Amino acid sequence: MDLSRVPIFVINLDRSPERWAAMREAFCVHSLVRWPGIDGGVYDSEERNGDLLPPEWGCAQSHVSLWQHIVDEGIQHAFILEDDVEPTGASLFDSMELANVFVGTAWDVLLLGENFKNCNVTDKNGDVLYCWGAHGYALTLTGAKKSIESMRTIVKPIDLQWPLAFRKTSMFDTALKIERTIDARGLKQGAIRHAPTAAKSTFTESGEKPWTDGKYKGGYK
C-alpha cells in the first residue's frame, strides 16, 4: 500500500488559521485536507450532556463528524490529526514501524502519537498504548463505523470515552457499558507528537489553557 495516497485530515477550528498554517509547515511534504472543527467554545447544543464542557463536546463532535464523512465517502483508510501535533521525523512516514504495522496487520484504529509515559490502555497484543489519545491516529472504514457507534451518545471527552470501545483495555466504566469492538494498535515510538501549540488549547473558551499534566513526555508544559 502506498501510504502517500492515504488522505491526511487535520481538524482545525475556523478561528485558528495560525494552527492550520503551522500544520502545513510541519507536514510540508504531505498533502493535508483541512476538516473544519466544531467550535464548542462559541457554539453549544441542547444535545450536549450537562457533565461535558462545551469545548469537550465540540472536540468529540469534530471527530465524529469526520468519521461520518469517511463512512459516507467510503474511504478505506485515513489519517486524522488534531492541529497541535508535529511529525517525530522529517515526515509522517519516516517511521518504519508505521509502514510495517499499516500494511502487515489487521486493525481498526492505529494510534500514532507519542504522549503519556503512564497509560492504562493496551493494544490487542497486550502492549501498552503509550500513544493514548485522539490527537493523531489512522483508521479504516470499519474502524470509522465502530468508532461512530462508540460515541453515539457523547457523555465524556473523546480521549476518555472512545478508548472504552478498544477490545483490550484496562479502562472501564460500568455506567456506560460500551461494547469493546475496536481493534486498536499503537506504535512503540510514535510517528507524531504534540507541538508547542498544544500548550494552548483552542478547545477552551479562552484559548489560554496551559498544559499541566506531569505525565506528558513531549516536553511542552
Q: Tell me: the pLDDT tens digits for 49-80?
A: 657 777 888 899 999 999 999 999 999 999 99
| Mean pLDDT computed over 114-124 | 48
8 versus 190: the higher-pLDDT residue is 8
Residue-wise DSSP of the chain: --GGGS-EEEEE-TT-HHHHHHHHHHTTTS-EEEEEPP-TTT---TTS-TTS-HHHHHHHHHHHHHHHHHHHHT-SEEEEEETTEEESSSSGGG-HHHHHHHHHS--SEEE-EE-BSS--BB-TTS-B-TT-SSSEEEEEHHHHHHHHHHTSS--S-HHHHGGGGBSSBS---TTT-----B-EEE-SS-SEEE-GGGGS-TTSSSS------TTB-SS--
Residue 34, pLDDT > 50, answer yes
pLDDT band per the 50, 70, 90 thresholds, residue 113 = confident
Contact, 139 vs 70, CB < 8 A? yes
The domains found in the chain, sorted by start residue, are 3-199 (3.90.550)
Over residues 166-183, the pLDDT tens digits come to: 887 666 666 778 888 999
Please give the mean pLDDT across all residues of the chain: 80
